[in-house]
Chains A and B, each alone.
Chain A
């Protein structure tokens, strides 16, 4: 078995090449830091390809650099596939010079040769091959061009004995760059004055001092409108009607002759629980579709760049924007991706702030309550929750920066990838992949909790019982005093919040089981507009789920996980209490 390590700078197409070589479907993004752990795949069962996180050099100490360096040092690697951005050779080859020190044969894969050509760069591959003493293969990974050549070289194994054995031993960075410049001078030719690229032209507007932030805000507004008004919302209403107007009455007719408890299990337990969450599927898909466009187009890195100033004030580097934005999707991968940040303090602070970014699992709860109590201002109210999370992250960031995580500000170094038109195939794949997760959850954790809650709400120590004397009511009544001062302290809501620790969507399915399938009609009995908003504030701020806490524990230890749990519970309660009190005064 041959082991090939795939290594290169961030965002040069490593994962795209890895997917092409192994037939895998690992996530590919048009921004740096997508890969933070090594991944393994196999080519023809005989060549193991290991995709390592993107790094710029071997001499700095972020976690992904450690992963790459340790792998090359400690594992048996037969060949390094060093993928470089052909349009940015000087910076990319710096890593190549450092890889030479490992004395492992290198295949230098020049990716994005089409972009280099567009930029007017002509590369003499033969000459460069000679100068560097490595096998060079020019490819365009995104278009699958010449990937077969990489496969052939790997299969033939003719890279052996071609370890760089030249003078790539430099005393410092400057010396290395001078040597690279000298080599490139011999092997490349830059056509002068090709004019500005499309990316330059777009950036002139999108990163303009005065226009950048309004454009950023406009993009966010468009995402909201697309999700809630233009596409997601209408489709959600259709699905909701299909469940509540067509499916449930039909089931009632079908199960008319069966025992009341059996039809209740199927209709209130399964359909009421799972159905009340599944109706939000179109909204989730719409939101993911928009996020995928931002990721694939290259705008996400610009957003991080724009947010740098604000991030610095929060005690974080602009690079932390990416884990924080990912937090709008799911807290778990976001907390893990915080490991791409250079300093330990940055990583911990980001991990503590990520849960304040409203993850998509909370969306069904927001939509459910706002559609009942604020139908005309639904987008505004949901937007206010997202903003509240961001504002609190900002304030908590400042607080922690000046107390727990005192440190000097670090400058942001982030690569701005070229803009590209998102590929429909990629967009659909990413959207479906994330959406599929939602359905999977509906069929597993949401389904199981709905059934368990149905059992607990229909039985007590004395056997079959009324819901008000059930096991669940007892549990709910035990914890409901905590929520009484917040205005929504009935036992049903308390149970919904408790079960929401398994997954946030479960809050809705729990309500579906406890209040009945047609939630929109029943909910006004248990909430007022004010208490519904306070409830949403609590949902926004209390711990996202057990997974997120477990990830926190895994990444940063027990103390941090316990601290995160305590501070999130306290923050949620205090902020919800303040909002409730202010609401009463108004």
Chain B
């Protein structure tokens, strides 16, 4: 029972954190489609990543 409560608590906390993070991202206008390159314009955040060869 205790393990079930702990596991459930962790799942719920994770869900809330993911939800808040995602909504924050969306509210800043970041793409919601999940793809990194669905369009060059979409992944503006990714473009800032330093890509090295």
Tally of contacts, chain A with chain B, CB under 8 A: 162
| Residue A195 CB within 8 A of the other chain | no
Question: In chain A, residues 449-465, which have Cβ atoms closer than 8 Å to a Cβ of chain B?
Answer: 449-452, 455
Q: Are A45 and B35 in contact (CB under 8 A)?
A: no
> How long is the Cα–Cα vector from A270 to B15 in the complex, in angstroms?
10
A90: chain B residues at CB < 8 Å are none
- CA of A433 to CA of B47 in the docked complex: distance in angstroms? 16
Within 8 A of B (CB), among A398-448: 433-434, 436-441, 444-445, 447-448
In B17-53, which residues have CB < 8 Å from any A CB?
17-19, 22-23, 26-42, 44, 47-48, 50-53
Measured between C-beta atoms, what is the minimum distance from A352 to chain B in Å?
16
Query: Which chain A residues lie closer than 8 Å to B36 at the CB level?
Result: 25, 433, 436-437
Minimum CB–CB distance for B50 against chain A, Å:
6
Contacts known (A436-B34, A547-B31, A551-B29); A27 close to B39, Cβ less than 8 A = yes
- A43 and B53 in contact, given A433-B35, A547-B32, A550-B29 (Cβ under 8 angstroms): yes
Within 8 A of B (CB), among A286-332: 326, 329-330, 332
Instruction: Name the CB-closest residue of A to B47.
Output: A39
A545 interfacial contact with B, CB 8 Å: yes
Number of chain B residues close to chain A: CB under 8 A: 38
- B40 and A34 form a contact (CB under 8 A): yes
Contacts of A336 in B (CB 8 A): 39, 41-42
| Per-position 1/0 for A257-273, Cβ under 8 A of B | 01101100100001000
CA distance A46 to B28 in the complex (A): 32
Q: Tell me the complex Cα distance, A36–B37, Å.
A: 13
Distance, CA A288 to CA B42, complexed state (A): 17
Q: Is there an interface contact between B33 and A41, defined as CB atoms closer than 8 Å?
A: no
A444 touches B22 (CB 8 A): yes
Q: Do A330 and B18 touch (CB < 8 A)?
A: no
Chain A residues near B42 (CB, 8 Å)?
Answer: 330, 332-333, 336
In the bound assembly, the distance between CA atoms of A41 and B50 in angstroms comes to 6
Once the chains are docked, how many angstroms separate the CA of A361 from the CA of B17?
23
Q: How far is the CA of A434 from the CA of B47 in the complex (A)?
A: 17
CA distance A554 to B27 in the complex (A): 10
Within the assembled complex, what's the spacing in Å between the Cα atoms of A503 and B19?
11
Please tell me if the beta carbons of A265 and B11 are within 8 angstroms of each other in the complex: yes
The answer to whether A21 touches B41, judged by C-beta atoms less than 8 angstroms apart, is no
Q: Is A37 an interface residue (CB 8 A)?
A: yes
Residue among A24, A25, A43, A45 facing the most chain B CB atoms (10 A cut-off):
A24
Cα A439 to Cα B36 in complex, Å, equals 12
Q: List 20 A-B contacts (CB under 8 A).
A: A34-B40, A35-B41, A37-B41, A37-B47, A38-B47, A40-B51, A43-B52, A262-B8, A330-B31, A330-B32, A330-B35, A333-B31, A337-B39, A433-B38, A445-B19, A447-B15, A448-B18, A448-B22, A455-B12, A545-B26
Beyond the given pairs A40-B47, A40-B51, 19 more chain A to chain B contacts, judged by CB atoms under 8 angstroms and listed by A's residue number, are A23-B53, A24-B51, A26-B37, A26-B47, A35-B41, A41-B51, A44-B52, A334-B39, A337-B39, A361-B33, A433-B37, A437-B36, A438-B34, A445-B22, A448-B15, A448-B16, A448-B18, A545-B26, A551-B31
Could you list which residues of chain B lie within 8 angstroms of chain A, going by C-beta atoms? 1, 4, 7-8, 11-12, 14-19, 22-23, 26-42, 44, 47-48, 50-53
